[in-house]
Structure 1
Amino acid sequence: MGTNRKRLLQLHKQLQKLAAYGPDWDGYGAAPVSGLAFAAAEQFLQSASLDGIAPVYRCAIEPLHSGGLRIDWTTTDPEAEDDAYVEVTIDPQGQIHWLAVQGEDTLQLDTTAEEAAVRTAEILKI
């Protein structure tokens, strides 16, 4: 099993923990992660396209107050020439909003889980 697949399995485990968060999980009235957001995140993380992400990028997943999720990749190497940032926000209805910043370019789109995975891998490829 490749390094990225292991990292993605760890993210999937984190996602499972977030699915157990109940109402008001942050003490400020947050909604629990919706089933639609959870399903879209699982579909995104299971994409084989993400296997090609360079190991200098670390990924984090976090719940949003609204009941959605955010998954983002940032570089672990401050000296990286091809520094990039990718953020995948999944709203409570399961809609995916994709954002990438690479150099001075910013790309945004509303998309499917698979297209978000493909575009993420294109930006953060090995």
Structure 2
Amino acid sequence: MKKVFVLLIVFIKFLFADSFITDVEYGKMLYKNPRGIGCNKCHGAKGEGGIIATYKELNKIDRKKYNKNLVAPAINELDPQEFADGVLKSNKIMPMYFLTKDEIIAIYKYLKISNKESKNDK
């Protein structure tokens, strides 16, 4: 009887627990793979941005081909509203992820914490 009572208490504790992972852990998980390709593939491990691809473009005036870079912007220094707008608004290159408000906040928190830790390590 005592074991049943203890198991019942443990079950109820887990049933009403807020979360098994923190917002930052959830944000890290989402950043690496929100709905397919992860944000880190284009924006870098800590949101620092970078070159996604290099291609050649024909200059119509001199008829020469020049190297061009497709660049993902840095997202680790944006304010919360700019960050949310970037995720929610459609553009020609970044895919739409249809993240919830809580998911966007979790990713934002992860970027802020991970960048703060990087600055402290230097």
The structure with the largest strand share of the pair is: 1
TM-score (norm 1): 0.26
Q: Higher relative contact order at CA 8 Å, sep ≥6: structure 1 or structure 2?
A: 2
Which is greater in Rg? 2
TM-score (norm 2): 0.26
The structure with the largest helix share of the pair is: 2
